[in-house]
């Protein structure tokens, strides 16, 4: 069972459908303010997905607490806001950038973990105005993907099975989104 934390975003159910299409039998969706860390521990999900959302990591309900208290216990995959929350929870700074709402960018990556088997670059949709500041990216988080301008598009701590992407693999405008989700499910 995968626990999908909904950060009040319209893309949450796209992620839900991608997880089901990737072969996950059960996906439980909970809003970021309707579940506790204790309840998550009792659920024993095989992985947690943190959805996109319209706010900052500080305003994303339980997301930061999930990352800080459940890292290493359950694998975590963050998308957009979820990715930013991972960066911030480990000590990185989330800063404003030029708004990228519905823009497609080329994503350059190293072909590892969730990017295994994907061409580099590939095109992906971006819907954000915040990013993890590169110079503050925590040392334990490997930068796994970037734009040609050097903006962080992917992070990972493979040992803890924590992965994040700034772009939206669940957007119809993104290439290889299903493969990214399948790769996460294979890793966990």
**115-131 pLDDT, tens per residue?**
999 999 999 999 999 99
Structure token digits, residue 133: 């500041």
Catalytic site includes residue 80: yes
From 137, 168, 175, 176, the catalytic residue: 168
Cα separation values, 108 from 121, 143, 145, 146, 159, Å = 5, 11, 5, 5, 22
CB 83 within 8 A of CB 53: no
Per residue in 13-37, pLDDT (tens digit) is 999 999 999 999 999 999 999 999 9
From 80, 83, 175, 176, the catalytic residue: 80
Cα separation values, 65 from 59, 101, 141, 187, Å = 12, 27, 18, 23
From 24, 146, 170, 175, the catalytic residue: 170
- CATH of range 2-187; options 3.40.1190.20, 3.40.50.880, 1.10.1840.10, 3.40.50.300: 3.40.50.880
Residues in the chain: 188
Catalytic site includes residue 137: no
Q: What's the average model confidence in pLDDT over 159-188? A: 98
Q: Which residue has the tokens 């694998």?
A: 75
In which band, very low, low, confident or very high, does the pLDDT at 98 lie, cut at 50, 70 and 90? Answer: confident
């Amino acid at each position: 069972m995968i626990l999908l934390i909904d950060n009040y975003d319209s893309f949450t159910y796209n992620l839900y459908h991608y997880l089901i299409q990737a072969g996950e039998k059960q996906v439980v969706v909970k809003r970021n303010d309707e579940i506790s860390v204790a309840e998550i521990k009792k659920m024993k999900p095989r992985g947690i997905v943190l959805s996109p959302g319209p706010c900052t990591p500080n305003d994303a309900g339980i997301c930061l607490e999930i990352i800080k208290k459940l890292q290493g216990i359950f694998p975590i995959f963050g998308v957009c806001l979820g990715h930013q929350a991972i960066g911030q929870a480990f000590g990185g700074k989330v800063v404003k950038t030029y708004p990228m709402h519905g823009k497609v960018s080329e994503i350059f990556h190293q072909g590892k973990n969730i990017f295994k088997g994907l061409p580099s670059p590939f095109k992906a949709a971006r819907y954000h105005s915040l990013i993890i500041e590169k110079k503050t990216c925590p040392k334990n988080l490997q930068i796994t993907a970037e734009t040609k301008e050097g903006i962080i598009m992917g992070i990972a701590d493979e040992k803890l099975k924590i992965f994040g992407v700034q772009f939206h693999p669940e957007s119809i405008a993104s290439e290889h989104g299903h493969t990214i989700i399948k790769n996460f499910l294979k890793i966990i």
